[in-house]
Amino acid sequence: MWQMFHGANTKRFTRLPMLSPSFCEVLSHPTLRAVADELLLPACGKYWMNTAQMMVIGPGEPAQFLHRDQDNWPLFSAAFGSKGPEVTVSAMIALVDFTEERGATRVVPGSHRWNDFAVQAAPEDSVPAEMRAGSALFYTGKVVHGAGENRTALDWRRGLHVSFVLGWLTPEDANPLSTPWEIARTFPDDIQQLLGWGSYDPHPHIGGRLWTVDFDDLRTTLVPKLT
């Protein structure tokens, strides 16, 4: 199943903050952060980086099956559907031109407002999000989408996926393990927080403090000892 989802001729890898320190510039991009602030902060005090992946789709790769990213946390689709809070928000950044032939991400318009999230979208319900290299497609976890079929003979569709998740949920990537402190310590404080090198504070919302050490903030207990 996982090979069907990820693709047999698709290259994926994570650990981008460790592999390329300049990736912090992506995480700090004002448009990316403004979208995440607008959509996620109404339901949390802080959010995490959920995952950052290179998604490189090779020639002949079939279309990925359509899905919602928030189904990583299935309660939100099953119990709340379109009425629930935004759980995750993503950006697919085109590193080459995304054309339909090359496998541009396909989205189902209006699927974030469907009354019943158990309804399965058909491929013909989707449209390709074609865009020039350097452009980005923003979408929330409620939007049905999937990588398109790469119908070319030689072209690889190179895309950079970045997503954020509510701070009281578990991210897809184990970021403090994939970006160890000896690397994360060189990043700005807000990037360290995004990568899990800081505790969750629900303020101004109600809720408990999470991801702590001896009931205290990770940054005041564990981080100084690692410095």
The CATH number of the domain where 25 resides is what?
2.60.120.620
| pLDDT recorded at residue 9 | 77
Structure pTM?
Answer: 0.94
Task: List the chain residues with pLDDT less than 70.
Answer: 1-7
Is residue 128 in some structural domain? yes
Is residue 10 in some structural domain? yes
Residue-range definition of the domain harbouring residue 101: 2-174
Is residue 117 in some structural domain? yes
For the stretch 46-72, pLDDT in tens is 999 999 999 999 999 999 999 999 999
51: its two tokens = 């995952």
The number of folded domains in the chain is: 1
| pLDDT recorded at residue 227 | 73
Is residue 8 in some structural domain? yes
Is residue 217 in some structural domain? no
Is residue 14 in some structural domain? yes
Angstrom distance (rounded) from CA 67 to CA 222: 38
Is residue 127 in some structural domain? yes
Is residue 211 in some structural domain? no
| pLDDT recorded at residue 226 | 79
| pLDDT recorded at residue 6 | 56
| pLDDT recorded at residue 222 | 79
